[in-house]
Structure 1
Amino acid sequence: MYQYTQFDRQFVQLRAQQFRDQLERWERGELTDEQLLPLRLQNGWYVQRYAPMARIAVPYGEISSAQLRMLGHIAREYDRPDQALLDSAQQTQDALQASQPGLTLAAPPLKYGYGHFTTRTNVQFNWIPLSKAADVMDLLASVNMHGIQTSGNTIRNITSEALEGIAPDEIVDTRPYAEIMRQWSTLHPEFAFLPRKFKIAFNGAEEDRAATGWYDVGLQARRNDAGEVGFTIKVGGGMGRTPVIGTVVREFLPWSELLNYVEAVIRVYNRYGRRDNKWKARIKILVKAEGQQFIDEVEAEYKAIVEQDGAPHTLTRAELKRVQANFVVPDFRPANLPSQVDVNSQLYQRWLKQNVRAHRLPELAVVTLSFKRLGWAPGDADADTLDALAELADTFSAGEARLTHEQNLLLPWVHREDLPALYERARALGLAQPNIGLLTDMIACPGGDFCSLANARAIPIAAALTELYQDIDEVTDLGPIDLHISGCINSCGHHHSGHIGILGVDKDGKEWYQVTLGGSDGSALSGAAHPGKVVGPSFSAAEVPGVVEAVLTTYRDLRASQAEHFIDTLRRVGHDPFKAAANGARLDAGHRTRQAAETASA
């Protein structure tokens, strides 16, 4: 993984010092809350429903054992609300729970002392007091981490698919390009105040596992007939209120021109993007409205950068090699630890099938640890677990791990002979559920439990569905299903791209949920990226588990064979049978609720 230079370290440390000065001036009353707002946002500090939320960048998902240990230390020592704040928040949560009749499974109690893995390979903390923010920034800087540009109308954390450098179907390892773009875009003075936030993703394999069609700029690695590396450039993807798939603006751009061309794209957006309406400010709206005119403007800007400005950001082979030198196969030996695992057991064999992937080096394997645990929100890891992850990374994966788009953690350098010992230790931590890619490997944002923007909670819905589908035989029989849950239209849970998507909506001041079917993130299983379709009017929280169950029962009844996946059955037979099943489940839930009310009144 990339090793910070002295300049890199000094850069992050100075930024932390600058933020400390800003916070101290705010505490002395020399800066107003309004003046502090953009300063803290560009360092990743929000103020959410109950407390500040810190968002920490993990560029292209790559994280070291030392960084995991530091996150564990921060979780243990700093992610701690005072008791009065925690009691007040829990009372609010309990009142929300009571307002949802029929949802018998309560949300997990509010926790603290943990980090949350997001869909964009960030780590979030929900309870760090703002008075401790500068101390946390200093600690992060000590292990080459920060929250720079994880918020605000800037170029956000650069992401990539989690299997870069290790996938058998890889075209090129895009991590060096992502790192170069991270360095170029960090505190870029021209793009510090864009019309809206801006997200960039790389994918280096044949299969698009980075969901590039859903990004403001999606960069798909290619090789031309001569074997030269370049990128297909997609622009204008995004979820939110208006889901749009990115438009291809260049089929093949030579790798050396990557920064020049992306600069042209962002300059055109910065010039013409709307600033009068935040819902219409994303680049997707501009691309959709202007079509070919937008592409022509980008090409003209790119030409000017190359011909008039002298192409100042053209990548040299020497610079690429300098960065590539950080991304090599680590030199390490197998752990050779003893294990009591029965390697012929059904559970272990299922884990091998679901959680272990082929590596481009045949003696190695890629192992995904599942962070979809009963009693925990998807992607949550407490301090002890973060410490244990660091130990697993050191022991089995050369000190390196990766955060994934699906809110799990991946170990990229595991010797195959160490798989039983790793499984034994992961199972003891509750991280060996054989469910990767299956229904209970769901994506969910924090929703209304923490986010001040959310219309509804996502965590209780995720908890209810996890409880409903505890039978691993049933989950395995259902096969690959992407279930995504968002607490509001901002789509942090990526509900638009789920085979089953659940969106929290506000209806007369109460929590309701829309269900969509047939979305795709662009992977080989799902096909070309596109949003799902709403199957009916919104459902109450109590109705959602039954609706999902009815949809999946319909799938089992209609699939051509056990080998036909949910998304394929849906496309073959159409939405109507599933829509009827969902609405039938609403009627059944309503009948049960009325019966319960009549029994109670009697």
Structure 2
Amino acid sequence: MYQYDNYDQAMVDARVAEFRDQVARRLEGKLTEEQFRPLRLMNGLYLQLHAYMLRVAVPYGTLSGKQMRMLGHIARKYDRGYGHFTTRQNIQYNWIKLSDAPDILADLASVEMHAIQTSGNCIRNISSDQYAGVAADEVADPRPWAELLRQWSSFHPEFSYLPRKFKIAVIASAQDRAAMRLHDIGLELVKKDGVIGARVFVGGGMGRTPIVAPEINAFITEDEIISYVEACLRVYNRYGRRDNKYKARIKILVHELGVEEYRRQVAEEFAHMKALGLNPPREELARIAAHFATPAYESGLSDDLDRSDPDFALWVDRNVTAHKQPGYAIANISLKPIGGIPGDASADQIELMADLAERYSLDELRVTHAQNIVLPYVKKADLYALWKELEANGLGEPNLDLVTDIIACPGLDYCSLANARSIPVAQKIASRFASNGRDAEIGELKLKISGCINACGHHHAGHIGILGVDRKGTENYQLLLGGSGAEDCSLGTITGPGFDENGIVDAVEKATDLYLRERTEGERFLDTYRRLGMAPFKEAIYG
């Protein structure tokens, strides 16, 4: 994984010192909240319902054991003993004291981490495939490009004050595990005539106006990716709306200009940049790529597993993914215990995962956009010992991609923007489907819950999505069907009138009951919905 050089460390240390001074002035009353707000947001510090929330950047979701252990330390010392892993592969702390914020940033800087550009109208954390570098189906490891984009975008003077926040994802497999087409810019690394390049998608996003990003360029060579992305951003920065935050995202610009006109303007800007020679040198990508060299795998390892323990065998079937290296496996750790808070982990659990990464996964972990954790380098011979420790510490739930593996935002329990609570709904759904064993019977079903239209829980992209709204002062939940953030990307459709907290749980069960009655062999919930259409589901839900 990438290691800071002296420049990286000096940059982060300088920001910590700068923010320490800003916080001191705020606490002394020398800065008003209005003056302080843009300063704290540049350091990932939000003022939420009950306290400050700090969002820590985890570039493309990759962490070392040392970094993960620091996240546990912060949860224990500065929060209430836990952290919340997010859909942008970051971690948030919900109970931060302003006076502690500079010390937290200093602790993060000591392990090559920060909270820079996790908020504000800038380029946010670059996300990627959690299986990057170990997936058998990838054309290349996408992380060097993600890291190059991170370094290029950090403190980029032209893009520090964009019309609105900006999100980029990089993948390298035909199977999309990062919801790439629901980003402002999505890059899919591909090979053409033996040359690595990228398909470029621009103008995706969720929120108030969900849009699946159209393809803007079918192939840009690897040497030109950065300058082409810059051209895309320059057109946006020039014409993006700054007078209306609801129309400020690049998806609105692409829609209003039209795909062809936006593509033409990007091509014009790109040609200008090429003429100026603004592509980064090949040596820079090579320097970064060296940090992601293939590890020294042990050879001659057996692929055999002792599956005599049925609970272990079930966990392997659901939470373990094939690795490209013989004798190794990708282990997925569920942060979705039945009845728990999706994405939350205690300080003890975070530190345990750091220990397990050091012992079993070549000192590396990944945060997924589905709010789980991945150990990417586990020898198959170690899987049983790993599972026993996970199981003993509340991390062994075998529910990856089941209806109980719910994505949910913090909702009205924490967020000042939310209209409704997400957490209790997620807990009730998980408990309902686990108690009768229906989650296993249903199979793959991606359920996602947002507490407001901002869609931090990705409800538009759920096979089943739930959106919390305020209906005349009462929490109300809309049900959506048919969304997907994968390579078959689609947006969910609202079924009809909303429900109260208990009614939405019943509605989800009615929809899945219909699926179980009507599915054909091998069909997922999403496949059956697409085959049958909305009408029979609506009839089953509303009667």
TM-score interval (norm. to shorter): over 0.9
2:372 paired with 1:405: no
The match for 2:72 is 72
Which residues of 2 match residues 112-511 of structure 1 at below 5 A? 112-225=80-193, 227-291=194-258, 292-307=260-275, 310-312=276-278, 314-331=279-296, 343-471=307-435, 473-511=437-475
Note if contact 1:195-1:273 (Cα within 8 Å) is conserved in structure 2. Answer: yes
How much does 1:342 deviate? 7.3
How much does 1:321 deviate? 1.5
Q: Match of 2:536, SS?
A: helix
Provide the rounded CA distance (Å) in 1 between the counterparts of 2:436 and 2:168.
36
Note if contact 1:171-1:206 (Cα within 8 Å) is conserved in structure 2. Answer: no
Which residues of 2 match residues 42-61 of structure 1 at below 5 A? 42-61=42-61
The match for 1:109 is none
Cα distance change of structure 1 residues 255 and 472 upon mapping to structure 2, 3 Å threshold = farther
Structure index of larger Rg: 1
Q: Match of 1:326, SS?
A: helix
1:85-125 per-position Cα deviation (integer Å, ceiling 9, x unaligned): xxxxxxxxxxxxxxxxxxxxxxxxxxx32110001101000
Provide the rounded CA distance (Å) in 1 between the counterparts of 2:26 and 2:451.
32
1:512-569 per-position Cα deviation (integer Å, ceiling 9, x unaligned): 011000001124xxx2x110111111111120110011111111111123x3211111
Provide the rounded CA distance (Å) in 1 between the counterparts of 2:70 and 2:250.
36
Quick one: which of 521, 534, 537 aligns to 2:497? 537
Note if contact 1:258-1:315 (Cα within 8 Å) is conserved in structure 2. Answer: no
Provide the rounded CA distance (Å) in 1 between the counterparts of 2:30 and 2:269.
41
What percentage of aligned pairs have identical amino acids? Answer: 50
Provide the rounded CA distance (Å) in 1 between the counterparts of 2:490 and 2:437.
30
How much does 1:446 deviate? 0.4
How much does 1:376 deviate? 2.3
Provide the rounded CA distance (Å) in 2 between the counterparts of 1:211 and 1:75.
28
Provide the rounded CA distance (Å) in 2 between the counterparts of 1:121 and 1:228.
29
How much does 1:473 deviate? 4.1
2:5 paired with 1:5: yes
Provide the rounded CA distance (Å) in 1 between the counterparts of 2:142 and 2:307.
35
Provide the rounded CA distance (Å) in 1 between the counterparts of 2:485 and 2:397.
23
The match for 1:89 is none
The match for 1:17 is 17
How much does 1:415 deviate? 0.5
Q: Match of 2:466, SS?
A: strand
Provide the rounded CA distance (Å) in 2 between the counterparts of 1:514 and 1:194.
32
Note if contact 2:465-2:492 (Cα within 8 Å) is conserved in structure 1. Answer: yes
Note if contact 2:339-2:428 (Cα within 8 Å) is conserved in structure 1. Answer: no
Q: Which amino acid aligns with 2:524?
A: H
Provide the rounded CA distance (Å) in 2 between the counterparts of 1:317 and 1:345.
51
Query: For structure 1, which runs of at least 5 residues remain unmatched after alignment?
Result: 80-111, 585-602
Q: Match of 1:578, SS?
A: helix
Note if contact 2:338-2:404 (Cα within 8 Å) is conserved in structure 1. Answer: no
Provide the rounded CA distance (Å) in 2 between the counterparts of 1:224 and 1:516.
38
Provide the rounded CA distance (Å) in 2 between the counterparts of 1:270 and 1:3.
31
Provide the rounded CA distance (Å) in 1 between the counterparts of 2:542 and 2:99.
49
Provide the rounded CA distance (Å) in 1 between the counterparts of 2:199 and 2:371.
27
Q: Which amino acid aligns with 1:516?
A: L
2:477 paired with 1:513: yes
How much does 1:472 deviate? 7.7
Q: Which amino acid aligns with 1:59?
A: P
Provide the rounded CA distance (Å) in 2 between the counterparts of 1:220 and 1:259.
14
The match for 1:99 is none
2:509 paired with 1:549: yes
How much does 1:311 deviate? 2.4
1:125-174 per-position Cα deviation (integer Å, ceiling 9, x unaligned): 00011111001010000001111000000000000010110001011111
Provide the rounded CA distance (Å) in 1 between the counterparts of 2:314 and 2:530.
28
Query: For structure 2, which runs of at least 5 residues remain unmatched after alignment?
Result: none
Provide the rounded CA distance (Å) in 2 between the counterparts of 1:522 and 1:398.
28
2:525 paired with 1:583: no
Note if contact 1:44-1:149 (Cα within 8 Å) is conserved in structure 2. Answer: yes
Q: TM-score, structure 1 length as denominator?
A: 0.88
Q: Match of 1:14, SS?
A: helix
How much does 1:333 deviate? 6.5
Q: Match of 1:210, SS?
A: coil
How much does 1:206 deviate? 2.1
Coordinate RMSD, CA, aligned: 1.5
Provide the rounded CA distance (Å) in 1 between the counterparts of 2:446 and 2:362.
31
Quick one: which of 507, 513, 525 aligns to 1:566? 525
